[in-house]
Amino acid sequence: MSLCVVFCTTDIPAYILNSFLRRTVEHLKREYSFCADEKAEDCVLILTSDNIASAQPSTLPMKTFQSPFLGKTVEELRDWFTLNITNKRVPTKSKSCMPYCFIVLDQRSVKDETCVFASTQGGRLQHLRSDFYVAYDNAMQCTEKQRIDEGVIGQFLRSGVVMTRERLKLALDGGLYIEGGEVKEDQDFLDALNEQQ
């Protein structure tokens, strides 16, 4: 698996960094049988330095660090990412980084454990908010199968609805869920998901 680059635009406490890593791996192991042996260092590179050549894949437990990207906008991160990752394709410790996807941990990440998933495919920056469980999964999908504006990810992108693992499952199941042994439909969710922002 390729590493997904993660930027921190504010001081992120160690417990949030570790929660992000644990939830990423937990989701992969639960959803994909081929990921049964995955570890955080197999899929995530939280940038603790702006020197990509010396960057190390992220391992649990992480410690708090001073991010070199404090206060940066998603657009500024895209520019740095394009110059240093997309255009150079620098491997780190024999693993390469995904060239068109990155994740941002920001102030909101500390409050609600969501992050920004961004794609630069086709030279166009597009991003959506997702929980820690599905952010790396989005990166995998956009690297291997589809663009960010296609399929279910595209529905979340266009609607502005935060993509959580529960909402992802609901979207994949066409808004259907089981409650009390009965199949029900969450029409409000489907309406929100299909709204254009």
Residue-wise pLDDT for 163-177, tens only, equals 999 988 888 888 877
- Residue 42 or 133, more confident: 133
Asked if residue 141 is part of any domain, the answer here is yes
What tens digit of pLDDT does each residue of 115-153 get? 999 999 988 999 999 999 999 999 988 888 778 888 888
Task: Give the total number of structural domains in the chain.
Answer: 1
Asked if residue 87 is part of any domain, the answer here is yes
Asked if residue 73 is part of any domain, the answer here is yes
Of the candidates 12, 196, 194, 2, which has an alpha carbon nearest to the alpha carbon of residue 96? 2
Structural domain range at position 79: 3-145
**Residues 6+ positions from 176 with CB-CB distance below 8 Å:** 170, 183, 184, 185, 186
pTM of the model: 0.88
Helices (H), the chain: 14-31, 74-81, 107-112, 135-144, 151-159, 165-172, 187-194
Asked if residue 103 is part of any domain, the answer here is yes
Asked if residue 155 is part of any domain, the answer here is no
Asked if residue 153 is part of any domain, the answer here is no
Residue 136 tokens, joined: 């790396």
Q: In degrees rounded to 5, what are phi and psi of residue 53?
A: -65, -30
Q: What is the CATH number of the domain that holds 34?
A: 3.40.50
Asked if residue 124 is part of any domain, the answer here is yes
